[in-house]
Structure 1
Amino acid sequence: MLNRVAVRPALTAWSNGWLSLACALLALLIEQGVSSTAAVTLPMYMFGEYMFGWWIIQGCAHFSGRRWPRHSLRKIIPALALLSLALPQVIGYQFRSVFLIQSLVLACCFLIALIALSPAFGRMQSSPGLLAMRGALVLLSLLFLSYLPIFGSNMLLNTPLPMTWLRLSSATHLVLEFLLGFGGAVLVLEQSNRNVAAHNKALVNDNARYRADGERDALTNAYNRQAFSHLLNAAIDGRLSVKGTVAMVDIDGLKQLNDSHGHAAGDDALIRVAKAVQNVVRAEDKLFRWGGDEFLLIAFDLKPAELWSRLGSVNTDLLGTGNVMVQASFGVTEFVDVDDLLNALQRADLAMYERRRECAALRRQDAFGSGSEMPIRAKHKHIAAV
């Protein structure tokens, strides 16, 4: 049933083992009821138990990560079938002689399975399924080894079998094999749970990475409006304390720059302005690409005067980069909580346009007062300082 929902090589091998054991016990049941069928049912019983041991070992090896030879089943089935047919011819068709051989073979199979499973002990020390399987394999090995002197003395000395002991050992045998199967099922479920947990962790990491990529503007690497929506939702939900200062940043004359020098120059201007602003603000401040030529800067727990001080060097820094002159206008205002944030954006936008008009007036006054004697670069520096 587990193999239908959790396909694992170890689980498939163990399932085949338990089916082989069921067939072996069915053949033994027929032999006990109809003794005349011993020539057929006893070899079938022996072959089924040999295959049970083989599959248990293979499942343990698979679970521990050991390499198992391919196509080995094609070789082992004829060999075990031949052994099952030949042994009764040698030792006779009495159950006690057959069971003596089976006890030795199964004890060895359980010990080999324990060895095959041993690499898993180091990496899964606290696994309930592994503890159950290890305990069951050890106790089953000891139990089947205990049958050797009992049945051996019965055959050699013709002493009566200790029926009370055999009844108790049969019940113990049943419990231990159930524990072995239960441990294998738990191991597979634990492995599936670890795989699901690892898959979920990978999905969470991928989701976080895709979300981070989806919240960035591809051109400037500033945050986009989707990121602002997430920040606003977090603030509304109370997961983020919101107060501080906002600034609207607008590139002066971007349309004319695109018309005169092409869109590549316009893109370069956007990148330069975004980088210049990010260079002067703090790591925790958020810069958003707000529109075509506008950026929104949110500085948490920062007063407007300090943000003005930081932004004051942006235009000066822009003069030293690029082949085309780029300047930006700023509008700064304070907000006290999340309800005030959206209103603060409008106030900052109005302040930015007012600042641009003031700067334009100063430029005209400066140009009128200075004439044409001042070098162009000096004029630009003077305007940027204003």
Structure 2
Amino acid sequence: MDSKIGLIAQLNGVFLITILSLFLRRSLKLTALKYWTIAWLCLSFALISLRLAFDYTQLGSLLFTYYFLGEYIFGFMLIAGIRSLDSEQEMQPRTEMMIAPFLIIAVILPLLASDFNEILPIHFLIVAGFFAFAFYSARKSALRSFGWHVLHVALAMLAINFAGYFFVFTMRNAVPFANQILAYNSAVNLVLQTSLGFGMVIVLLEKVLADFQTANKRLQDAHKRLEELVHTDPLTAAFNRHAFYGFVRKGNEDGTTVAGCVGFFDIDGLKNINDCFGHSAGDAAIRVVVRSIRDIIRAEDLIYGWGGDEFFVIMVSMDAEMAETRMSRLENLLRSVKLDGVQEPMTIGVSWGFRDFTDIADLEKAISDADAEMYRRKRGRQTQSIDPANFVPTASRNIPTIDITQ
């Protein structure tokens, strides 16, 4: 193959990769892509300079300098892009200055000999060193994807290929078939550099996909935490009314049939605890009661904070009579309770009421009946201390009406 034709073919391949990098750069704001785009631009410039040097021999020294300079910057930016894959960090000014010795070599190298072939071994050795260091940097990366493997193999082959060029050009006088081998160097370079560009593109797309998946997971986690904050009472970690309305709405939308019982709980004398020991003690009492309720209900049962010291429980597939039996353990759990800020243990009283429901549509009536039962029980427990003038009938209590259809 004619060397000029091979060089033009190589230039076309590199130019296409450069165009692809420029288009990707418009959409993907990745540090590695920025460095690699510069690298391919420099390699295109280097090959154009080399091609022109064959036709304009009077400018050979200058054009060969441009060729060497473009290839060294290509190798430098290739390494910089690989090293930025994990951290997305920009090169520091001190690191950028490491290219300076290679710029000096690019200027001096064409002046060392009049025959271009005599200085090529040094150039090939330097380029092989760039590819070898890029290979080493890729191995240190945390990436182990398909694109990484393609990139990894291409870098290894390019390092071996240019090391081979160094050996052949150094020994060309002793190896008669060297010129036949080198006639295909542009074609070999085209295949390997195309593989390198292919691996780079895959790595970048895999990185974008990984970043998207990470961002999506963070968004889902944030959404989950936000839902928990919206639907959870911060004091007791019990569900709140928003969560209950969501439960009702989902049941209506799914058309599922749910049966069981509902129950209301109200702490007796919470105002006295707040007045005597402070609201921190009252909050501690609320937490103790909720924790005790959780101890006696099942894992699948749902407990909701209904406002203040009232709590609402849904026990699926359990009737009110069985639930009442379970609640007999609650009084034992709340005897001699130690609260923060209170020196002596105290017994916390809780009133409750349960009613059965056969479907989500029956929840409104079941809730109202359970609340009424709870208040009757509470009134019975406080008969000795209640002033009839201060008694608020159940019917006049401010119980929110639940719209089952929402």
TM-score in terms of structure 2 length: 0.74
Matched, 1:180 2:201: no
Q: Distance in 2 between matches of 1:160 and 1:288?
A: 85
* Maintained 8 Å contact 1:64/1:117: no
Give the counterpart of 2:99 among 57, 62, 76.
Answer: 76
Cα shift at 1:238: 3.8
Aligned residues: 356
Q: Is the 8 A contact 2:112 2:119 kept in 1?
A: no
What is the identity percentage for the equivalent residue pairs of Structure 1 and Structure 2? Answer: 29
Counterpart pick for 1:336 among 338, 352, 358: 358
The superposition leaves residues 315-370 of structure 1 with CA deviations (integer Å, 9 ceiling, x where unpaired) of: 45545346777533322111223233333212212333344455566x69xxxxxx
Q: 1:200 aligns with which of 213, 216, 219?
A: 216
Following TM superposition, by how much is the alpha carbon of 1:293 offset from its aligned partner in structure 2, in angstroms? 3.8
Residue 368 of structure 1: aligned partner: none
Tell me the distance in 2 between the aligned counterparts of 1:101 and 1:138: 19
- The structure with the largest alpha-carbon Rg is 1
**Separation (CA, whole Å) in 2 of partners of 1:260 and 1:39:** 96
Match of 1:43 in 2: 65
Report if aligned partners of 1:133, 1:183 keep a CA contact under 8 Å in 2.
yes
Please say if 1:32 is aligned against 2:54. yes
Contact kept in structure 1, 2:30 and 2:88, CA below 8 Å: no
Partner of 1:140: 158
Is 1:104 paired with 2:130?
A: no
Report the alpha carbon displacement of residue 310 of structure 1 after superposing the two structures with TM: 1.8
| CA spacing shift, 1:149–1:331, aligned 2, 3 Å | closer
| Equivalent runs, 1:1-386 vs 2, <5 Å | 1=22, 2-63=24-85, 71-77=94-100, 79-92=101-114, 94-120=115-141, 123-125=142-144, 127-148=145-166, 151-152=169-170, 161-162=179-180, 166=182, 168-238=184-254, 242-252=258-268, 267=283, 270-315=286-331, 317-318=333-334, 320-321=336-337, 327-356=349-378
Contact 1:331 1:351 in 2 (8 A): yes
Deviation at 1:308, TM superposition (A): 0.3
Does the 8 Å CA contact 2:61/2:111 hold for their aligned counterparts? no
Distance in 2 (alpha carbons) for counterparts of 1:89 and 1:138: 31
| Residues 1:228 and 1:138: Cα distance change in structure 2 (over 3 Å) | same
Question: How far apart are the structure 2 equivalents of 1:91 and 1:167?
Answer: 22
- Cα deviation for residue 249 of structure 1 reads 1.8
Contact 1:14 1:56 (8 Å CA) reproduced: yes
Moved more, 307-316 or 38-47: 307-316
Matched to 2:261, the amino acid is T
Verify the 8 A CA contact 2:79 2:137 in the aligned structure 1.
Answer: yes
Question: For the Cα contact (< 8 Å) 1:288–1:296, is it kept in 2?
Answer: yes
* Secondary structure in 1 matching 2:261: strand
Change (3 A) 1:47 1:275: closer
Tell me the amino acid that sits aligned with residue 34 of structure 2: T
Q: How many angstroms does 1:118 deviate by?
A: 1.4
The DSSP-based 3-state class of the residue aligned with 1:131 is: helix
- The answer as to whether partners of 1:63 and 1:117 remain within 8 angstroms in 2 is no
Residues 40, 245 of structure 1: CA spacing in aligned structure 2 closer, same or farther, 3 A cutoff?
same
Distance 1:135 1:159, change over 3 A: closer
Instruction: Give the drift of 1:25.
Output: 1.4
Q: Which amino acid aligns with 1:108?
A: G
CA distance in 2, matches of 1:295, 1:319: 19
* Alignment-mate amino acid for residue 129 of structure 1: G
Q: Deviations over 1:175-206 (max 9, x none)?
A: 22122122122212222322222232223223
Q: CA RMSD in A?
A: 3.5
Shift of 1:226: 1.3
Q: TM-score, normalised by structure 1?
A: 0.77
Quote the Cα distance in structure 2 between the aligned partners of 1:236 and 1:214. 21
Residue type of the alignment partner of 1:332:
F
Q: Residue type of the partner of 1:35?
A: T
| Native 8 Å contact 2:259 2:359 kept in 1 | yes
Structure 1 unaligned regions, length at least 5: 365-386
Cα distance in 1, alignment partners of residues 210 and 88 from structure 2: 19
What letter corresponds to residue 49 of structure 1 in structure 2?
Answer: E
For structure 2, the 5+ residue unaligned runs are 1-21, 386-406
| Counterpart contact for 1:64–1:116, Cα < 8 Å | no
Give the whole-Å Cα distance in 1 for the aligned partners of 2:279 and 2:85. Answer: 60
Secondary structure of the structure 2 residue equivalent to 1:161: helix
Deviations 1:28-65 (A, max 9, x none): 12212222111211111112112222222333344367
2:315 counterpart SS class: strand
Deviation of the 1:245 alpha carbon? 1.4
Query: By how many angstroms is 1:145 displaced?
Result: 3.6
Secondary structure at 2:179's aligned position in 1?
A: coil
CA, structure 1 residues 103+75, in 2 after alignment: closer, same or farther (shift >3 Å)?
Answer: closer
Contact 1:64-1:119 at 8 Å conserved across structures? no
Partners of 1:261 and 1:190 lie apart in 2 by 60
**Kept after mapping to 2: 8 A contact 1:97/1:155:** no
Structure 1 residues 268 and 64, CA gap change in structure 2 (3 angstroms): closer
Residue 297 of structure 1, CA deviation: 1.2
In 2, Cα distance between equivalents of 1:154 and 1:310? 95
